[in-house]
């Protein structure tokens, strides 16, 4: 799904970033945008992603303004997640390409990214918990957005047949890099 993507701004825990990679790949997103990767302070947690990052296009931006400019150049609407966002996730329009932006686990989205958002949304919660972990929030938002985008398009993908073929060929090339030749051991048939 090329018309739906995720941006992660200044996440503290690389494990959360890896969990979002896994969610994005599981729901067929192609890109994950990482803003200020160096903000991560905790040791890496590669196992959380279970290797799914190799199927994603990870796009790094050193600054938030670089990311905003790239999103606008690509014609993406920016939907920013915040606990007290103005609009419910369920109300967001996914009839055009969009990026779901998630911020730092402690501070949320930066003022700069909040100001650039077309909509600041919240995930409706009905229990007593005040908030969700970033990876849980992203999973809920991506699952909903994927379904809403498919519904708006009237089909399961926004890729053309030629784009799907090119993506398949790219995946075959990527797979070939990771496969190791198997050689029979001496003395065995």
pLDDT for 122 = 97
pLDDT for 179 = 62
Residue pLDDT, tens place only, 99-119: 999 999 999 999 999 999 999
pLDDT for 71 = 98
SS3 7: strand
pLDDT for 186 = 52
Query: What class, spelled out in words, does domain 4-160 have in CATH?
Result: alpha beta
SS3 87: strand
**Domain range summary for the chain, segments of one domain joined by +:** 4-160
> What does each C-alpha distance from 26 to 56, 135, 179, 188 come to in angstroms?
10, 13, 21, 40
pLDDT bracket for residue 139 (50, 70, 90): very high
Cβ atoms of 132 and 94 closer than 8 Å: no
> What does each C-alpha distance from 45 to 59, 77, 118 come to in angstroms?
19, 30, 32
CB-based contacts of 76: which residues, under 8 Å, 6+ apart? 5, 97, 98, 99
The distance of Cα 65 from the centroid of its chain, to the nearest Å, equals 18
Residue pLDDT, tens place only, 114-124: 999 999 999 99
Residue pLDDT, tens place only, 16-33: 998 999 999 999 999 999
Cβ atoms of 79 and 98 closer than 8 Å: yes
Q: Which two tokens stand for residue 98?
A: 């969009």
Residue pLDDT, tens place only, 56-87: 889 999 999 999 999 999 999 999 999 999 99
The pLDDT > 70 percentage for the chain reads: 86
pLDDT for 185 = 55
- Round to whole Å and give the CA distance between 11 and 108: 9
pLDDT for 166 = 79
CB-based contacts of 52: which residues, under 8 Å, 6+ apart? 21, 22, 24, 25, 26
Average pLDDT on 169-182 reads: 68
């Amino acid at each position: 799904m090329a018309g739906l993507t995720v941006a992660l701004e200044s996440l503290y825990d690389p494990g959360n970033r890896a969990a979002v990679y896994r969610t994005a790949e599981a729901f067929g997103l192609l890109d994950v945008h990482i803003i200020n990767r160096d903000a991560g302070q905790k040791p890496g947690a590669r196992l959380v992603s279970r290797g799914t990052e190799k199927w994603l296009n990870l796009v790094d931006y050193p600054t938030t303004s670089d990311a905003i400019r790239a999103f606008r150049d690509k014609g993406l609407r920016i939907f920013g997640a915040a606990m007290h966002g103005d609009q419910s996730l369920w109300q967001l329009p996914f009839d055009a390409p969009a990026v779901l932006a998630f911020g730092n686990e402690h501070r949320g989205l930066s003022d700069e990214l909040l100001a650039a958002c077309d909509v600041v949304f919240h995930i409706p919660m009905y229990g007593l918990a005040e908030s969700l972990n970033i990876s849980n929030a992203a999973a809920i938002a991506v699952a909903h957005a994927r379904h809403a985008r498919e519904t708006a398009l009237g089909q399961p993908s926004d890729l053309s047949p030629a784009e799907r073929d090119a993506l398949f060929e790219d995946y075959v090339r990527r797979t070939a890099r990771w496969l190791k030749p198997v050689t029979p051991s001496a003395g065995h048939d």
